[in-house]
Structure 1
Amino acid sequence: MGEPAGGGTTGMKQAVRDQLGRIVAVALLATIAWAWLWRPPFSWTFGVLVVIGTVGAGIADGRYALRRIAGVIPVLVGVSFVVFALMASLPGDPAINILGPAATADQIAIVRTELGLDEPFFNRYGNWLGGVLTGDLGTSIVLREDVADGISRSMTPTLQIMAYSVVIALGFAIPLGIWAGYRQGTKTDGTINNVMLGFLATPNFVLAVMLVLFLSIGGLSVAGNEIGFRVLPAARYVPLGEDVVLHFKHMLLPSLALAMGQAAVFMRLLRSDMIATLRLPFIDLARSKGLPTRRILWRHALRPSSFTLLTVVGLTVGLLIGGALIVEFIFTIPGVGAYIFLGVTQRDFIAVQGGVLVISTLYIVVLTMSDFLYLALDPRLRGREVGARA
C-alpha cells in the first residue's frame, strides 16, 4: 500500500516538532555566532532572535504563541503610558531647566511650544507614542541628539555586560548545581551552598568594590605584605571591535560583579531540581544499564532539571539591568545606566523616558522569548496544549 497523500508532509512536520528544541537552540547559537563575527546593529540581532523564538513557538503551538503576543501588546502600551505619566508628573519646568532661571516668560513660552508642553496631556502622549511606533523617541534636551541614537550607542556596553554576566553565572551554576545535587547532604554540598550563599548575600556594588580592591589596585597591605593582585584594569570601556583582548579585560570585573549573585540563585534552583530528577525511575534505569555517572548527570538528568532554571534566567534580566546601572557607574562604562543617570541629573526628561521605555520593552520581550523557548524545549507542554484542545 502506498503512503497516504500528505503523509510525507505530516511526518516531516512531526519530525520537526520532535526535534524543535534542538533546532531552536542551533538557530540561536548560529545567530549569536553571526552577530559575533559580523557585528551587525543590535536591533538586527535582537530582531532575528525574536523571530526565531516566535517561529519556534508558532511551530510548537501556534495558538499559544498568538495569545502570548496578543497579551504583550497591551502590556507594552500600558508601560509606555506609565513611563510618560511619571515623567510628566516630575516637578519643575523643562523649559526653565533649558533656559535657566533668568529666562523671560516669552522665551519660556517659545521653548514650551517647541517641546509640545503647551498641549494637553493626552495629546502629548499620543504624539510621543506615535513617534515611538516609528522609532522616534524624541530629541534629548541636553545632548541635542536623537534619543534613539543615544540609547542605541549606550545599549551595546550594557547588553555586553548582561550577556557576559549570564554566561559567567551559568558557567559557575551548572557544574556546581549538578555536583551539589548529586552529592546532596555531604560536606561538598554544604561547602558549595555556603560559598554561593555568601555571594548571594553580597550586594553587586559591594562585590564590585571588592573586586577592584583585590584584583585591580593591589588589595590591602598587612604587615608590609600586599594581599591582592594587579591583574585587571579597574575602569574604562574598550569596544569589542577596537581590541578584543582589552575589551574582555575591562569587562571581566563588572561582569563578575553582576554574575556571582545570580550564579548563587541559578545553582540552588538547579540543585533542587537535580535532587528531584535523580530520584525518578528513568535515572534508576540508566544506572541499571551501567551508564557512567557523568553521562547520567549531564545527558539524562540535566535537561529535565533545567526548565525552571531557563525560566528564572529570563526573569533575572530585570535584576541585571538594575545592577548594571550601578556597576556601570563604578567602572565608568558608558552604558544605558550612565545615559539615564545623566538624564536624571540634568532633568532631561525626554532622554529618561526613552531609556526607561526601551529597558522595559526589552525586559518584557525577553520574558516572552523565554516562555517561547521553554515551550520549544519541553515536549510535555506541547502535549498538554494539544490534549487540552482535543
Structure 2
Amino acid sequence: MSYVLAKSQNDDIHNAGECGGAVTSIFKYLLDEGLVDGVLAIKPGDDIYDGVPTFITDSDDLIGAAGSYHCAPTMVGNIIQKYLYDKKVAVTVKPCDMRSIDELIKRYKIKKENIYTIGLNCGGTVSPITGRKMIELYYDVDPDDVESEEIDKGQFIIELKDGTEKGVKIHDLEMEGYGRRNNCQRCDVKIPRNANIACGNWGSQDGWTFIEINDEKGQELIDGAKNAGILETKSPADPAVEGRLKVEGIMKKMASKVQSVKYPLVSEMDEWNRCIGCYACRDICPICWCCENCELNKDYFTLEENSSPDPLAFQGVRLSHMSFSCVDCGQCDDVCPMDIPVSLIFDKLQKKYYERTGYVAGVSDDVKPPLYSPEKTEL
C-alpha cells in the first residue's frame, strides 16, 4: 500500500472533476491506450439526484460523468456480471460496489483480469426522493437550484448555482429520518481497499485527489496515466495521511453507534410476516446471481399453482445464503414494497458470522467463506 496526491493535466477534466479530476484522467488513459473496452461510470440523468450508470467507450464522453453523485445507485456488480462479462471494463466503485464485485469474482461471475476497479471513499449515499425532500425542508431552497452536493466534516453540504453553500449536520438530518440511507449509516467499510486504488478528498489538498494504491495493478494505473502526460502526482505530507485516517475513524465510530442503537430494535419474525413473496429483494441483490435457476422457483416451494412460496420459507432460504454473503448495499431495502429492513436482518447475521469465523463478505482476503473452505472446522 502506498499513497499519492494526483490531479489531471487536462484543464477541462480538472475543472469538471470533484477534486482535481484524477479519476476521470485515469479513465481517459485506459480508453485512449485501448486497455479497456469501456468505462462503467455514473452520469446525471434528469438532475443531480438522478445518477445513471453509463458505459462509456469514447474518452471524449468522460467529461459528462465527472464529479460525485451521492444519490448514485449501487448495482454496478450486477451490470458487469449480466452484461459486460466478456468486456474489459474500468469501473468506479463505492465500498459496497467493490464488495459485491469481490464476491462475484469468487463465484466466477466476473473475471478479475478483465476489470480495473477505481474505488471511491464513501461517507454514504442518499435516496433521490429523500434528497429532494430533505433539501426543501432543511435548506429552504429549490432542489433544482442545487449545482452539486458533498458529505464533508459531518455535514451534508450543497452548492447552489450562484456559488453559495449551505450545510446541515448529518446527525441532525438522520435523527429526523433524512440524510443517508439506513445501510450507509451503519456501514463500517468506508475505504474500498479491495479496489486497485481508493480515491477521495479525505486528506487531500484543494484541487488534488488523495489516492491509496492497493495493489500492483493500481500502481500500473498511476504510472501509466502519469507517463501518458495526463496525470500529475506528488507525495502527500504525513499530516494529510493522518487526516485521512482520522476521517475514516470518525465515520467508523458513527457507524458503530448506529449499529448499537438499531440492531436490537428489529424482530425478524415480525418483519418476515409482512413479506408478500414478490422476490424483489432477490432479483435486485448483486450476490443472488442465479435467479433463473433459483430453487425458490421449483414446484415444491409453491403452495398451489401460480402462487409464491410461503414468505418464511422464501426468506429462510435467502437468509441461509446471505448470512455469509451480504455486502450491505441496501438495495433490497430500497425495493421492498412492505418496507421490511431486509439488509439490516442480513447484516445482523453477517456480524454474527464474523464473530464466529472472522470472515466479512467482500472484505476478507479469503477466496471463499469458511463454510465452503476446504479447511473449514466445526463452528
TM-score by length of 1: 0.22
Q: Whose relative contact order is higher, 1 or 2, with alpha carbons under 8 Å and at least 6 apart? A: 1
TM-score by length of 2: 0.23
Which structure has the larger Rg over C-alpha atoms? 1
Higher strand share: 2
